[in-house]
Chains A and B, each alone.
Chain A
Amino acid sequence: MSKIGVFICHCGENISATVDVERVAREIGGMEGVAHAIDYKYMCSDPGQTFIKEAVKKYGLDGVVVGACSPRMHEPTFRRACAEAGLNPYLCEMANLREHCSWVHEKSEETTEKAIDLVKMMVEKVKKNKPLDSIKVPVTKRALVIGGGIAGIQASLDIANTGHKVILVERDPSIGGHMSQLSETFPTLDCSQCILTPRMVEVAQHPNIKLYTYAELESLEGFIGNFKAKIRLKAKSVNYSTCTGCGACIQKCPVKKIPSEFNAGLGTRTAIYVPFPQAVPNKPVIDRVNCNYYKRGACKICEKTCQVGSIEWDKEDEIITEEVGAVVLATGFDVKGTDFFPEYGYGQYKDVLTGLQFERLASASGPTFGEIRRPSDGAIPKKIVFIACAGSRDPAKGIPYCSKICCMYTAKHAMLYQHKVHDGESTVFYMDIRAGGKNYEEFVRRAIEEDTVNYVRGRVARVYEKNGKLIVKGVDTLLGGEQVEIEADMVVLATAGVANCGSEQLAQKLHVSYDPYHFFAEAHPKLKPVETNTAGIFLAGACQAPKDIPETVGMASGAAVKVAALFSNDELVREPVVAVVNRLAPPLYSTCVGCFMCETACPYNAIEHEEIKGRDGSLIRTIARVNQGLCQGCGTCVAFCRSKSIDIQGYTNEQVYAEVMSLLND
Chain B
Amino acid sequence: MKIGFYPGCSLTGSSREYNESVVALAKALDIELVEIKDWNCCGATAAHVMNEELSLSLPARIMAMAEEQGLTEVVVPCAACYNRLKVTQHELEDENKRTRVIEILKLPYRGDLKIINVLQMLEAYGAENIKTRVTRPFAHKVACYYGCLLVRPHSILKFDRVEDPQSMDTLIKGIGGTTLDWAFKTECCGAGFSVSRTDLVAKLSGNILKDAADRSAEAVIVACPLCQSNLDMRRGAINKTLKNPIDIPVIYITQAIGLALGIGAKELGLKRHFVTVEL
Residues of B within 8 A of A466 (CB): 183, 211, 214-215
A134 to B234, CA, bound (A): 89
Report A622 CB to chain B, min CB distance, Å.
49
Give residues of chain B (203-234) contacting chain A, Cβ–Cβ below 8 Å: 211, 214-215
Instruction: Find chain A residues with CB under 8 A from B164 CB.
Output: 342, 346, 348
Question: Which A residues between 445 and 468 are near B, CB-CB below 8 angstroms?
Answer: 462, 464-467
Q: CB distance A342 to B163 under 8 Å?
A: yes
A-chain residues with CB within 8 Å of residue B214 when the two chains form the complex: 466-467
B164: nearest chain-A partner, CB-CB: A346
User: Who on chain B is nearest to A346 by CB?
Assistant: B164
Question: CB of B2 within 8 A of chain A?
Answer: no
Q: Could you say which residues of chain A place their CB within 8 Å of the CB of B163? A: 342-343, 346, 462
Shortest CB distance B142–A (Å):
17
The contact of A465 among B161, B162, B181, by CB within 8 Å, is: B181
Contact partners of A343 in chain B: CB under 8 A: 163
**Contact check: which of A342, A348, A464 meets B183 at CB < 8 Å?**
A464
Q: How far is the CA of A252 from the CA of B183 in the complex (A)?
A: 44
Q: How many residues of B contact A (CB 8 A)?
A: 10
CB distance from A491 to the nearest CB of B (A): 14
Residues of A within 8 A of B215 (CB): 466
> Please, which residues of chain B bring their CB within 8 A of the CB of A462?
163, 183
Please encode chain A, from 330 to 369, with 1 for each CB lying within 8 Å of some chain B CB and 0 for all others: 0000000000001100101000000000000000000000
A253: which B residues are within 8 A, CB to CB? none
A43 in contact (CB, < 8 A) = no
Interchain CB contact (< 8 A) of B181 among A342, A348, A467, A471: A348
How many whole Å from B136's CB to the nearest CB in chain A? 31
Give the residues in chain A near B182, CB-CB below 8 Å.
Answer: 464
B162 and A342 contact, CB distance less than 8 A? yes
Cα distance A465–B215 in the bound complex, in angstroms? 11
Chain B 161-204 per-residue mask, 1 if CB under 8 angstroms from chain A, else 0: 11110000000000000000111000000000000000000000
Residues of B contacting A464 with CB < 8 Å? 182-183
Closest to B161 in A: A342
Q: In the complex, what distance in Å separates the CA atom of A471 from the CA atom of B215?
A: 14
A348 to B169, CA, bound (A): 16
Distance in Å from the Cβ of A345 to the closest Cβ of chain B? 9
Which A residues lie within 8 Å of B161 (CB)? 342
Cα distance A239–B161 in the bound complex, in angstroms: 49
A23: shortest Cβ distance to chain B, in Å?
69
Name the interface size band of chain A.
Answer: 10 to 19
Q: Which A residues lie within 8 Å of B183 (CB)? A: 462, 464-466, 471
- Distance (Å) between the CB of A376 and the closest chain B CB? 14
Minimum CB distance partner of A464 in chain B: B183
Contacts of A342 in B (CB 8 A): 161-164
Alpha-carbon distance A348/B215, docked complex (angstroms): 17
A348 to B164, CA, bound (A): 11
A177 CA to B150 CA in the complex, in Å? Answer: 45
Nearest neighbor of A471 in chain B, beta-carbon distance? B183
Chain A residues near B181 (CB-CB < 8 A): 348, 465
**A464 vs B183: C-alpha distance when bound (angstroms):** 6
- Report the bound CA distance from A462 to B214 in whole Å: 19
Give chain A nearest CB distance to B179 CB in angstroms: 14
Q: Which residue of B lies closest to A343 (CB)?
A: B163
Q: Which residue of B lies closest to A341 (CB)?
A: B163
Q: Which single residue of chain A is at the shortest CB-CB distance from B187?
A: A462
**In this complex, what residue of A is CB-closest to B163?**
A342
Nearest CB on B from A22, distance (A)? 73
* Minimal Cβ-Cβ distance residue in B for A463: B183
Q: Tell me, in angstroms, the Cα distance from A343 to B164 when the chains sit together.
A: 8
Bound form: Cα–Cα A344–B215 in Å: 20
Interface string of A460-500 (1 = CB under 8 A from B): 00101111000100000000000000000000000000000
Cα-based distance from A380 to B182 in the complex (angstroms): 24
Alpha-carbon separation in the docked complex, A471 to B161 (Å): 20
Which residues of chain A are within 8 angstroms of B211 by Cβ–Cβ distance? 466
How does the 8 Å CB contact mask read for B151-168 relative to A, with 1 for contact and 0 for none?
A: 000000000011110000
Contacts of A346 in B (CB 8 A): 163-164
| Cα of A464 to Cα of B184 in the assembled complex, Å | 9
CA distance A342 to B211 in the complex (A): 20
Which of A466, A467, A471 has the most C-beta atoms of chain B within 10 angstroms of its own C-beta? A466
Q: How far does the Cβ of A487 sit from chain B's closest Cβ, in whole Å?
A: 12
Report A349 CB to chain B, min CB distance, Å.
9
Considering the chains assembled together, what is the distance between the CA atoms of A464 and B207 in angstroms? 14
Closest Cβ of chain A: how far from B199's Cβ, in Å?
19
Separation in Å of the B31 CB from the closest CB of chain A?
32
Query: Roughly how many angstroms separate A464 CA and B163 CA in the complex, as a whole number?
Result: 11
Complex-state Cα separation, A467 to B211, whole angstroms: 10
Whole-angstrom distance between the alpha carbons of A466 and B212 in the complex? Answer: 11
A342 to B160, CA, bound (A): 12
Q: Nearest Cβ distance between residue B245 and chain A, in whole angstroms?
A: 20
Minimum CB–CB distance for B184 against chain A, Å? 9
Bound-state CA distance A466–B143 (Å) is 14
Question: Which residues A241-281 have CB closer than 8 A to chain B?
Answer: none
**Shortest distance in angstroms between A265's beta carbon and chain B's nearest beta carbon?**
21
Question: Which chain B residues in 34-69 approach chain A with CB under 8 Å?
Answer: none
Q: How far apart sit A465 and B214, CA to CA, in the bound complex (Å)? A: 12
Contacts of A467 in B (CB 8 A): 214
Least Cβ–Cβ distance between B34 and chain A, in angstroms:
37
Contacts of B162 in A (CB 8 A): 342
How far apart sit A346 and B160, CA to CA, in the bound complex (Å)? Answer: 14
Chain B min CB distance to A585 (Å): 63
Set of chain B residues within 8 Å of A465, measured between Cβ atoms: 181, 183
* Closest CB in chain B relative to A396 CB, distance in Å: 10
The distance from the CB of B167 to the nearest CB of chain A, in whole angstroms, is 15
Nearest Cβ distance between residue A493 and chain B, in whole angstroms? 15
A467 to B216: give the CA distance in the assembly, Å: 11
* A346 CA / B166 CA spacing, docked (Å): 12
Bound together, the chains give a CA A467 to CA B164 distance in angstroms of 18
Query: Can you name the residue of chain A whose Cβ is closest to the Cβ of B183?
Result: A464
Which single residue of chain A is at the shortest CB-CB distance from B185? A464
* Cα-based distance from A465 to B164 in the complex (angstroms): 13
Residue of A nearest to B215 (CB): A466
Question: How far, in angstroms, from A232 to B211 measured CA to CA in the complex?
Answer: 55
Distance, CA A471 to CA B182, complexed state (A): 11
Tell me the smallest distance from the CB of A350 to a CB of chain B, in Å.
Answer: 12
Measured in the bound complex, the distance between the Cα atoms of B162 and A462 in whole Å is 12
Complex: how many Å from CA A471 to CA B211? Answer: 12
Cα–Cα distance between A466 and B182 once the two chains are bound (Å): 8
Bitwise interface map of A from 308 to 345 toward B, beta carbon under 8 Å scored 1, else 0: 00000000000000000000000000000000001100
Closest CB of chain B to A579's CB: distance in Å? 48
Closest Cβ of chain A: how far from B86's Cβ, in Å? Answer: 21
B47 to chain A minimum Cβ distance, whole angstroms, is 28
| CB of A362, distance to nearest CB on chain B (Å) | 29
Chain B nearest CB, measured from A369 CB (Å): 31
**Whole-angstrom CA separation of A415 from B174 in the bound complex:** 48
In the complex, what distance in Å separates the CA atom of A565 from the CA atom of B2? 77
Q: Report the minimal beta-carbon distance from A184 to chain B, rounded to whole angstroms.
A: 34
Q: How far is the CB of B122 from chain A (nearest CB, A)?
A: 24
Q: How far is the CB of B103 from chain A (nearest CB, A)?
A: 36
Q: Please give me the residue from chain A that is nearest to B184 by CB atom.
A: A464
CB distance from A357 to the nearest CB of B (A): 21
Q: What 3 A-B pairs have minimum CB-CB distances, sorted nearest first?
A: A464-B183, A342-B163, A343-B163
Pull 5 A–B residue pairs with CB atoms less than 8 Å apart, ordered by A: A343-B163, A462-B163, A465-B183, A466-B183, A466-B211
Interface residues in chain B, defined as those with a beta carbon under 8 Å from any beta carbon in chain A:
161-164, 181-183, 211, 214-215
Besides A348-B181, A462-B183, 19 other A-B contacts (C-beta < 8 A): A342-B161, A342-B162, A342-B163, A342-B164, A343-B163, A346-B163, A346-B164, A348-B164, A462-B163, A464-B182, A464-B183, A465-B181, A465-B183, A466-B183, A466-B211, A466-B214, A466-B215, A467-B214, A471-B183
